[in-house]
Structures are given as C-alpha cells and as structure tokens.
Structure 1
C-alpha cells in the first residue's frame, strides 16, 4: 500500500512576497522563520545573487495541518484561467441564505485586501453556492 504524501501548493507570480502575504491574510497562515543565522528573510535574500533576490517566498499553516504554499517569480504574466485553484472553505455546513451571508462577509474582507470578486455561483440542487474570486495577481480561487 502506498503511503500518503504531503503536498506543497506552488503559485507562479510576479511578486512572490506580496502574493504570499496576501494568502497569509486569507488563510491565517504565517511566514516561516528565516534560515538559521539570519534575522529576517530580507537579510537572507540579500545574500543571493541579484537575479535571485525576491524570486521566492512561502507561507505555512501555523498548526502544521495545511499544506505549505510556495510562491515563485516567473517572467510571464497570467493569461488564461487556472487549471487548479484553491477553495477557501468558509461556508462548510451552511446552506441557503446563511451560507450566502458567510460567503459575502468573507468576500468583503478579502476585497479590502486586494482580491477581486468575479461571480456568485448559486446553489443548483447538486452544489451549494460559492463565490469565484481572484487574488491580487488574478489567480482564481473560490469561497466555498
């Protein structure tokens, strides 16, 4: 029998630290401590070759349960819909108007952080309502 593997979710982006800090706010994640011998990630970053400075950043679930999120700089911008996206579970167990209220409240909080609202997908008898959003670089995610 195969063993269960941990996963890391990696985002391609233009500004890794900015996007990572956005997702820290969305999910309640934190920036991990810098490598031993460095007071901050900025101190560590300055030791890298100029072309690698600012090229990556990460955030982690402080409880150690959720996956690590890694953000890497890429030269090209986002041009098409994501093939994989995160569902941020804010309405679990809620239905109808109560679920919509929870989704809308979280949407309002995230828009204030720089997220974009795309569209509300209403319950259809099979799936509950969810809100399609975009992060600060246009990556789609759902409030579910």
Structure 2
C-alpha cells in the first residue's frame, strides 16, 4: 500500500476506534453510575446538572477521554509507516480539541476540566505512541 495512503488511514482508523472506545466508556459510565432524573441525550439538562455532580460521575468521562485517546494513538502509530509519534500526537490533538469543546459546552467542576485537559489527551497520546514505537522497533 502507498505509504502516504497508509499514514492517512492510520489517523482515520485511530480516530474512529478511539472514538468508539470513548463513547463505549461514556455509555457504560451512565449505566454504572446513572444521573437520576436527567436525560443524558439532552445537552441543556446535562449542562445544568454538571456543576452539581459528585466526583464519582467524572470517573468514566475521564477514563473515556484518556483511554479513547490512548487506544486511538496506539492504533494510529501502529499502522503508520513513518513519523509514528507524530501521528499518535495528532490523535491526541484531535481528541484534545474535542475535549475542549465538550468541557466548554458541558462545563463541569474546574478540577475536572483541568485534569481532563492536562492529563487525558496529549500525555495518553504520547504513551500510546511510545508503546507502538517500542513494539515496532522490537519486532524489526
């Protein structure tokens, strides 16, 4: 396969799989720790209730953001032909942009926003990229 096409597919597949992981964990979180009396599909209702929620309601969103980014970056770096870490970090930037948007639309507690933005995206993309690069270099 053409290396450029493969690198483009690496980002697309990493972003899609990471997004599925993210949404799967968000949905699992709502089943395990439901927000009683709130329709989770109603953005206005969620925006109103977010500042009042306890820390337990933010465990799954953080895990979703961190693990979705990690898996997406790991896959992108594993598939990419060259510049593996750059593609892993590109996934981190894509997820970071999404995270900033969600934190703006559904602003939760300040501690969560800071932890989410600083820890869930770029560090996890770097970790996923590092593991993929080590895996690739150990098999060659």
Instruction: Tell whether the structures are fold-level matches, with TM greater than 0.5.
Output: no
User: Greater strand share, 1 or 2?
Assistant: 1
Q: Highest Rg: 1 or 2?
A: 1
Q: TM-score, normalised by structure 1?
A: 0.30
Report the TM-score, using the length of structure 2 for normalisation. Answer: 0.30
